[in-house]
A and B are shown apart, each in its own frame.
Chain A
């Protein structure tokens, strides 16, 4: 009687065994890699804002301190977004005709708030507090990156729990003096270690990894 299988059947069998192993091992690894990519974390994602607000102009060229607009960063959990009135404060004189600012004028006249798009989003079960991070000496730049170089602000860090923990487990290297809290492009002095050690002491910084630090 004729052979049941063609001559290449064995090779196919072996090959398929190999493929099976690759799938079993490969898929989990692929997933673990994927969740670390910016596709999953939203890092550097392009977020279109209703107004082409350029941080390069305000933060870099005009040297406006972050806290001028994000006024509650030092005193409350949210950093705060400026009310339309704050924009108008300057722009009654500067560029008061510009089309870019049309939405601002509209907001002022209608009383409807400007709908900004959120860039740095955390899950609802994470209770992040800007004020305490500032108080302990963590600079804006540490998490938000070189905002002064962003025409359009995007998420600078992965914002994964692991990323948070990396600093919460060892805060020292991420601290800077109060004078440099809002500084962009700050570089640690030569005696970085000594400075970190001093800041840890003066700002009473401890490694805080207990769950309710962020989850309540």
Chain B
């Protein structure tokens, strides 16, 4: 039985070849202080939070309005045309899905890979994943010409006696994204339960305690509960890990099953997954660094974390660069005039050349600064780099979609593409919506795993501060 195996401690805990440069935890204080520090926002928030929240709400309102306007008037309110039948909305969709990948990667992958430093950032990453997916899910729906028939993409016994087309990537897309959302949500919640209990016992107002109490599912902290909880998390981690790879692979098929030059490519699944995790890390950094600053968490989210995140980001950047190079090379090597045109002429020197080179600057050039320790460990620089990368990844999707479409096989149908205010409103609005959700999360949910942090401290203490392969989580 799984549980049985997991309960038994691993035979020989692996020792780090060299002790890590930066300690994973520099916080020195009582557990009580730790709790106070981590539950501060639950007690109440300041003017900064409120001002940010109002801006986010405004963004959300814009989002809702643009969605209503699109559904009321039609897709014609966007800049899309023939040939460019997909543009901003799909770019936004892929972008958000990609962002949604870091959460599970950090929690699940690193959990299984026994990386302790993940403990203090996985909660934020998971929350981000869920909110990103909520955004991502809206765009394909909105993108339909007749959104009210979205359920025809779902296999169910219809009185029409017809089924979806399983040869197309889109029904699988829906399956992949919904599965991912469900699992991420469960994973996040399961990890959250003990902390909710802490919050329950921490807040004063009866309503607050009731509220947290309901979601804490009567958690008492009995060792039996801990054991079950631990098993559940590991099971979910095992379940979520393959999803990290599968979801964006399926999304990439939306493009690679088409024979369009610039889409029709076997490199897409790994290429997209790497890009996804890359943008995800960027988003984590963008959310993490301000929080760390605002709630003085330098002792908990330490230089070690920044360094590790930066290193991973750089790795992804290099893999992505490799993908770019290979794409171009294959296009040239194939000798296909259309492939060559798209990769060697239209993208670098064509209508959207500026966008293309901006993308290269953001995704390929910027991360190179992370070779330097100074930059890896400097919060400000990291934040700036992350912003650049996140933008770059959006531009990458735009380039893939629009440059391939607007000039394909017959020049008679070549046309330009330009977004309308609705297109812009939707992407800005979705960012606002995301920000609103995240701010609410910070306000009401412990955004760093309290129990995990405490456990980490005690385990470190037990090993005399030496960081060895601890029994994970």
Residues on A lying within 8 angstroms of B by beta carbon are 4-5, 9-10, 13, 28, 32, 35-36, 158, 160-163, 165-166
**Cβ-defined contact, A162 with B200, below 8 A:** no
Contacts of A160 in B (CB 8 A): 159-160
Query: Binary interface profile of B, 199-231, with partner A (CB < 8 Å = 1, else 0)?
Result: 010000000011001100110000000000000
**Cβ-defined contact, B159 with A4, below 8 A:** no
Given A4-B200, A5-B218, A10-B218, CB of A35 within 8 Å of CB of B159: yes
Given A4-B200, A5-B213, A5-B218, CB of A32 within 8 Å of CB of B156: yes
B161 proximal to A (CB < 8 A): yes
Given A4-B200, A5-B218, A13-B217, CB of A161 within 8 Å of CB of B209: no
Contacts of B218 in A (CB 8 A): 5, 9-10, 13
- Chain A minimum-CB-distance residue to B212: A4
The prevalent SS among residues of A at the interface is helix
B157 proximal to A (CB < 8 A): yes
**Cβ-defined contact, B161 with A161, below 8 A:** yes
CA distance A35 to B160 in the complex (A): 11
**In B154-210, which residues have CB < 8 Å from any A CB?**
156-162, 200, 209-210
CA distance A5 to B200 in the complex (A): 12
Contacts of A13 in B (CB 8 A): 214, 217-218
CA distance A28 to B154 in the complex (A): 12
**Cβ-defined contact, A162 with B160, below 8 A:** yes
The prevalent SS among residues of B at the interface is loop
**Cβ-defined contact, A162 with B161, below 8 A:** yes
**Cβ-defined contact, A4 with B161, below 8 A:** no
Contacts of B200 in A (CB 8 A): 4
For chain B, the count of residues having a C-beta within 8 Å of the partner chain is 14
- Chain A minimum-CB-distance residue to B217: A13
Residue among B159, B200, B218 with most chain A CB within 10 A: B159
- Chain B minimum-CB-distance residue to A160: B159
**In B375-412, which residues have CB < 8 Å from any A CB?**
none
CA distance A36 to B161 in the complex (A): 12
Query: Binary interface profile of B, 32-64, with partner A (CB < 8 Å = 1, else 0)?
Result: 000000000000000000000000000000000
CB distance from A33 to the nearest CB of B (A): 11
CA distance A5 to B220 in the complex (A): 13
CA distance A28 to B160 in the complex (A): 16
Contacts of B160 in A (CB 8 A): 160-162
**Cβ-defined contact, B210 with A165, below 8 A:** no
- Chain B minimum-CB-distance residue to A169: B161
Given A4-B213, A162-B161, 12 more A-B residue pairs with CB atoms under 8 Å apart are: A4-B200, A4-B209, A4-B210, A5-B218, A13-B217, A13-B218, A28-B156, A32-B156, A35-B159, A160-B159, A162-B158, A165-B161
**Cβ-defined contact, A36 with B209, below 8 A:** no
**In B266-302, which residues have CB < 8 Å from any A CB?**
none
CA distance A13 to B214 in the complex (A): 8
CB distance from B247 to the nearest CB of A (A): 22
**Cβ-defined contact, B213 with A162, below 8 A:** no
**Cβ-defined contact, A36 with B156, below 8 A:** no
Contacts of B209 in A (CB 8 A): 4
Contacts of A158 in B (CB 8 A): 159
**Cβ-defined contact, B217 with A162, below 8 A:** no
Contacts of B162 in A (CB 8 A): 161
**Cβ-defined contact, B217 with A36, below 8 A:** no
CB distance from A39 to the nearest CB of B (A): 13
Contacts of A36 in B (CB 8 A): 159
CA distance A32 to B213 in the complex (A): 38
Contacts of A162 in B (CB 8 A): 158-161
A-B complex: 6 closest residue pairs judged by Cβ atoms: A162-B161, A161-B160, A160-B159, A165-B161, A162-B159, A4-B213
Contacts of B157 in A (CB 8 A): 32
Contacts of A35 in B (CB 8 A): 159
CB distance from B203 to the nearest CB of A (A): 11
CB distance from B209 to the nearest CB of A (A): 6
CB distance from A54 to the nearest CB of B (A): 33
Contacts of B161 in A (CB 8 A): 161-162, 165-166
- Chain B minimum-CB-distance residue to A17: B217
- Chain A minimum-CB-distance residue to B161: A162
Contacts of B159 in A (CB 8 A): 35-36, 158, 160-163
CB distance from A159 to the nearest CB of B (A): 10
Contacts of B213 in A (CB 8 A): 4-5
- Chain B minimum-CB-distance residue to A10: B218
CA distance A160 to B351 in the complex (A): 50
CB distance from B449 to the nearest CB of A (A): 23
- Chain A minimum-CB-distance residue to B210: A4
- Chain B minimum-CB-distance residue to A40: B159
What are 16 residue pairs bridging A and B, where the CB atoms are less than 8 Å apart in the complex?
A4-B209, A4-B210, A5-B218, A9-B218, A10-B218, A13-B217, A32-B156, A160-B159, A160-B160, A161-B159, A161-B160, A161-B161, A161-B162, A162-B159, A162-B161, A166-B161
CA distance A5 to B161 in the complex (A): 51
CA distance A32 to B160 in the complex (A): 12
